[in-house]
Chain A
Amino acid sequence: MSAAIEVRVSAARMLTPVVREFTLQACAGLLPAFSPGSHVQVHLPLAEGKLRNAYSLTSDPADIQHYRIAVRLQEASRGGSHYLHRQVQVGDTLQISPPANLFALHSTASLHILIAGGIGITPFMAYIAALEQRKAHFELHYLCRPGLSDAYVEALQQRLGSRLHTYASRPDLSRILRDRPLGSHLYTCGPQPLLDAVRQQAKALGWPTGRVHWEAFNAAQPGQPFDLELLRSGRRLRVGIEQSLLEALESAGLQIPNLCRGGVCGQCMTRHVSGDIEHRDSFLSPAEQADFLMPCVSRGCGPCVSLDL
């Protein structure tokens, strides 16, 4: 795993009452170049423990003087978005992971159909910059509540013209997805119900799964505290209410491979040996869950969990 990058918040602005955009510059050296759809993990030093949340890079990949992320204030959360909204000021420094991409553009598509819900617009901001540079054909469908979850909508209207379609409530997805030319690819990002509806409608209309790309903004959710036993080292840890199992391991100095922090990419897969597990991931099959868990989102639901670590 590579080292965290220290960045300075060079600007911050509210895009809507619940969405705050940060501009980040490297404290030293250059920021790594990235591909559209990439995200970074922001390290959040909360009083209760260190959290890491993943945010899509919204900035133009061709311009690596700075990165931009846009954070939606989540009411029922562990406090990461609250911290970013309330505590972080211009001039502060943050640690972020280098960019990683779990939601890349399909290189041979001849038409890119983008469907964004609310804060799901963020990866598409980087997409659009790159697609325009490559002179690719695309259209953006943006489901957003005016004045609340419609970040960037004015800039998009200016830039995209008729390629942008906005909706205040969920549109008829079958109209968006039917009769599309061969070579079309579909990308969707936003709340889980939207993702599920898009994927279901695409399937019903005969879209092969290889043409449908999605990114969910899952994050760890709070849960009951529990003890952790690491069988190989004999260490015992405590996982707090707001802390994910992965974060507890990281706080104790363990390095577990990870990318998405949301239970979808499979990187942090860890063998569990005993203790009741509440599986909250979207990666493992039920058979696999008998032996493995994804510590970024899943938790123990009894007093103690032992891991093969």
Chain B
Amino acid sequence: MTDRHSAAPDRLHSLPRYRQPLPRESVTRHIVVMQSAAACSPIVGELEQPLVLNGESADFSRRLHQVLASATVGSHLYIMGDEAFIWRIHGEARSAGLENDEIDITRTIVGARLVYCVHCGLTQAAGPEALLTCIGCDVGLEVREHFSRRLGAYLGVCTNPDQPYAGVRS
């Protein structure tokens, strides 16, 4: 068996928790992936010999893939940026075999996020607005307080079933 986990705090459980990374003992490799230089969190300066990847550099995707493929247990990943960026990288990290508790997510840029339109299944880029029109099927959506880590997106559901295609103003 594994050690008992402590009870989670009382909150909307599916919503992501962004926070400054906590200090961790015994990490053998710190891997920092930031969306851009502007997205960098000051904590990076306190990490011991981190491997740092910048999302704006030319061969970022290739480097990220390489780093994840060769990383070993004991690695810890820190992702910094906006929500859309964070969850894209999170998905790749999970596919590479990292567990949720081996990844710290810090939202250092507010704004872009992803929304899953439940009607047509399209995951699309969106802003912080509560309403948007799905670019796949034109249904006017409200963005719910329900989040899928697997999709990296919030749930978008028709906001006005009496007039689903009326268009929404955000």
Residues of chain A touching chain B, judged by Cβ–Cβ distance below 8 Å, are 102-103, 110, 177-184, 203-215, 264-265
Please choose the segment from B67-75, B125-133, B144-152 that sits at the chain A interface, where 4 or more of its residues have CB less than 8 A away: B67-75
Task: Evaluate contact between B1 and A103: CB separation under 8 angstroms.
Answer: yes
Interface string of B85-104 (1 = CB under 8 A from A): 00000000000111101100
Known: A110-B97, A204-B26, A208-B102. A182 touches B2 (CB 8 A): no
Write the chain A residue with the least CB distance to B29: A206
CB-defined contacts of A209 to chain B, threshold 8 Å = 2-3
Task: Evaluate contact between B71 and A182: CB separation under 8 angstroms.
Answer: yes
- A-B pairs under 8 A by CB, number: 58
CB-defined contacts of B96 to chain A, threshold 8 Å = 182-183
Write the chain B residue with the least CB distance to A264: B1
Known: A210-B2, A212-B2, A264-B1. A205 touches B74 (CB 8 A): yes
Task: Evaluate contact between A182 and B28: CB separation under 8 angstroms.
Answer: no
CB-defined contacts of B27 to chain A, threshold 8 Å = 206
> Taking the nearest CB of chain B, how far is it from the CB of A124, in angstroms?
15
Task: Evaluate contact between B75 and A208: CB separation under 8 angstroms.
Answer: no
Q: Which 6 A-B pairs have the closest CB atoms?
A: A183-B97, A206-B74, A182-B97, A206-B26, A206-B28, A180-B73
Cα–Cα, bound, A205→B96 (Å):
19
Known: A204-B26, A210-B101. A181 touches B1 (CB 8 A): no
Cα–Cα, bound, A183→B145 (Å):
31
- Which size class do B's interface residues fall under? 10 to 19
Task: Evaluate contact between B72 and A182: CB separation under 8 angstroms.
Answer: yes
Task: Evaluate contact between B74 and A207: CB separation under 8 angstroms.
Answer: yes
Known: A206-B74, A209-B2, A264-B1. A181 touches B97 (CB 8 A): yes
Cα–Cα, bound, A110→B73 (Å):
12
Cα–Cα, bound, A205→B74 (Å):
6
CB-defined contacts of A208 to chain B, threshold 8 Å = 99, 101-102
One of A183, A206, A215 near B1 (C-beta < 8 A)? A215
Cα–Cα, bound, A177→B76 (Å):
16
Task: Evaluate contact between B1 and A214: CB separation under 8 angstroms.
Answer: yes
CB-defined contacts of A102 to chain B, threshold 8 Å = 1
Tell me which of B26, B68, B96, B97 has the highest count of chain A C-beta atoms within 10 A of its own C-beta.
B97
Tell me which of B3, B71, B76 has the highest count of chain A C-beta atoms within 10 A of its own C-beta.
B3
Within 8 A of A (CB), among B71-124: 71-76, 96-99, 101-102
Tell me which of A103, A180, A206, A213 has the highest count of chain B C-beta atoms within 10 A of its own C-beta.
A206
Cα–Cα, bound, A181→B2 (Å):
20
CB-defined contacts of A110 to chain B, threshold 8 Å = 97
Task: Evaluate contact between B1 and A180: CB separation under 8 angstroms.
Answer: no
One of B26, B73, B76 near A184 (C-beta < 8 A)? B73
Task: Evaluate contact between B1 and A182: CB separation under 8 angstroms.
Answer: no
> Taking the nearest CB of chain B, how far is it from the CB of A26, in angstroms?
28
Known: A110-B97, A182-B98, A208-B99. A213 touches B74 (CB 8 A): no
Cα–Cα, bound, A267→B27 (Å):
34
Task: Evaluate contact between A181 and B99: CB separation under 8 angstroms.
Answer: no
Task: Evaluate contact between A182 and B68: CB separation under 8 angstroms.
Answer: yes
Task: Evaluate contact between B73 and A211: CB separation under 8 angstroms.
Answer: yes
Known: A182-B96, A206-B27, A208-B102. A213 touches B73 (CB 8 A): no
> Taking the nearest CB of chain B, how far is it from the CB of A277, in angstroms?
21
